[in-house]
Amino acid sequence: MLENKRALTGYWALLAGFLSALLPVSTVIYALQLLPKIGIVIYKEQFLMWFLTLSLVLTFLIIPPVKNKASSADAVKVPGQVFERVPWYDIVLALIALTAGGYVTFWYHQILPEIGLLTTDKILASAAGILLLLEATRRHLGWTMVSLGLVALAYSYFGSHLGGILETRVIRLDRLLVYNYLGQDAIHGTPLFVAGTVVTAFMLFGQMLFATGSGQAISDFGFSMMGRYRGGPAKVSIVASGLFGSLSGSASANVATTGMITIPMIKEAGYPAHKAAAIEAVASTGGLILPPIMAATGFIMAEFLGIPYADVAVAALLPALLYYLCLFIQVDLEAAATGITGLTEDKIPPRAAALKSVAPVAIPVAVLLLMLFYFFQSPETSALYATVTVILVSLSLPRMRQNFLTYCKVLVKTGDVVVSITIICAIAGLIIGCLGLTGLGTNLSQALVMLANGEVWLLLVLAAVASIILGMGVPVTATYIILVILLAPALVELGIPELAAHLFLFYFGTLSFLTPPVCISVFVAAALAQADVMKTALFAMRLAIVAYMLPFFFVFNQSFLLEGTWDVLLRTGIGAAGSIMLLSAGLAGYFRGHLSWWARILVVAAGLAGLKWGVYSWLGVIASYALIAILYPSGKSATDISGENTTQ
């Protein structure tokens, strides 16, 4: 996302802060159903239009139209600082957004019974709303998402002139605009609903954690647990970036935030610049697939599938843990192979103090998990309960206690973060509306099935490649939504379970952040490390290799998604861990010594075989660990066994 904000002061800053705080406050009111309790009943679409309108107004107040190009008329110099006022043209755009959105918000109960009747007021409000949404998207995300939205609209309007599977029925422009802006399955559909409820509630929870010092407590805990071991800073990066990445919802933003601290430390420990950057990029990107939050995309998945979010989180747990296990082992072996040690004791927080500082953080997290998985509350309600718990815990502990203004600033900060996510989900809803109106998703799925000729493996490969390409330069939430509409029906048609199909597409959409040529996480990390981008990208792909493989495995073996008896799940977990150990050692070329090239091939092949067949029987599991014991006996180096005399 493009960081490009006006430094507002005075009344403009107060107005922007008030509107930002109003976003999470609106979520709390709607999620807890406070309005019906006082006799005010509203439609879901009214809440969503209100939420989107606030986001559009804030965009035009805060985000200038051109990056770092404030006009001289807008910039005002005062002693010691420079601030900007909102120019007249953005005030006009904000007022138009307020007028169009307010019209729908407050008169929707009159619009709904006659929504099919195309009147001038509906057409004008829809045209203005869609144009403003496209401009807001450009300011937040650049031209990539705007181009996708324009292509979707153009295809809907001109598709009747095309041939073959791309041909559509004739769709009038006025109907196209009204359907997308006022309909229930387009801009105001599932993505925006999740952004306005679940995502905002979880962002409020995360911001409250950070404001009360929990972020520093988690960081200190990571350093105290991992810092003293070989490659300690890199291992701390894995823990911290994974946790923060799950909360932030943006791999690149997470790299920029945590990488500022971790990448220099990893380099200082002895890792080359490109490896330090790759470790941070892979750890941060993995946070997007890590339960319990999964960067909020998991909640959208649950809405699409019509199942509890707990089912999605449970299914995603083992693949995510295996992803981080593979990364952790490779980082450890890289440190062992090059003699990288841990941090000195004077740089490591005392373990007892770190445990004491992080213990309060466990309480709201426990409340969140209990509400989600034991009491089966909705995700947004669970997050709000957890947020209240954070406040109560912080008020009871002097070191976490904040003044009233700080808690209010959390609301403002949450709103600032949520605005861009709201715009992303709204433009994704526009694309969904166009695809639904034209039927392209169904036609494309049928074409893919025909192209694959009924071969599931071929269809999966095509879907994986398409997911990475479509995901390049696009936020992960929008990527997932587009992929589900375009590709999921084809996977399901060939017999792949819906949940597995959605997770498959989610994984490969996420991997676009690591896969060249448009690997945004790698770009950010390489810039921070001053490393070669391509070397960083290739090493990142090696570290994340299991993420490219696991989706194919869990599509055919549901035990990877924790479906099955306890015996099957236990065998799968233990067998997969052993296979990952073999695979990681083969890729790193080291365990207790350097492996020769043929030994590396053998170990990698054994790891792949274990993932494919070993998890089906205890004999295969035992074979994996027997091979580990044979290759890496205590007191010998692996190079002795591989036929070389070199020892460490």
First to last CA, the chain: 46
Residue 289's pLDDT is what? 92
Residue 83's pLDDT is what? 45
Q: b/e map of 15-41 (b: 16 or more CB within 10 Å)?
A: bbbebbbbbbbbbbebbeeeeeeeeee
d(CA 435, CA 413): 34
| One-letter amino acid for residue 170 of the chain | V
Query: SS3 helix, strand, coil % of the chain, rounded to 5?
Result: 75, 0, 20
Residue 249's pLDDT is what? 62
Residue 424's pLDDT is what? 86
d(CA 503, CA 558): 12
Mean pLDDT of the chain: 86
d(CA 89, CA 155): 31
Residue 3's pLDDT is what? 54
Residue 79's pLDDT is what? 39
- Report yes or no: 386 and 198 within 8 Å, Cβ to Cβ: no
Cis bond before residue 36 (omega within 30° of 0): no
How far from the centroid of its chain's Cα atoms is residue 443's Cα?
A: 28
Q: Residue 413 contacts by C-beta under 8 Å, 6 or more apart in sequence?
A: 20, 207, 211
Phi, psi (deg, nearest 5) at residue 159: -60, -25
Element (H, E) at 65: none
Using 70 as the pLDDT threshold, list the residues of the chain that sit under it: 1-3, 68-84, 247-249, 631-648
Phi-psi domain of 169 (left: phi exceeds 0; alpha: psi -120 through 50; beta: other): beta
Nearest Cα to Cα of residue 283 among 300, 301, 263 = 263
What tokens were used for 87? 């120019």
Cis bond before residue 291 (omega within 30° of 0): no
Residue 68's pLDDT is what? 59
pTM of the model: 0.79
How far from the centroid of its chain's Cα atoms is residue 325's Cα?
A: 19
Domain residue spans in the chain?
Answer: 10-166+175-188, 564-648
Residue 578's pLDDT is what? 92
Residue 71's pLDDT is what? 40
Q: What angle do CA 160, 164, 168 make, to 5 degrees?
A: 25
Residue 84's pLDDT is what? 65
Q: What does the pLDDT look like over 571-615, one tens digit per residue?
A: 999 999 999 999 999 999 887 778 888 888 988 999 998 888 877
Q: Residue 331 contacts by C-beta under 8 Å, 6 or more apart in sequence?
A: 231, 234, 235, 238, 279, 543
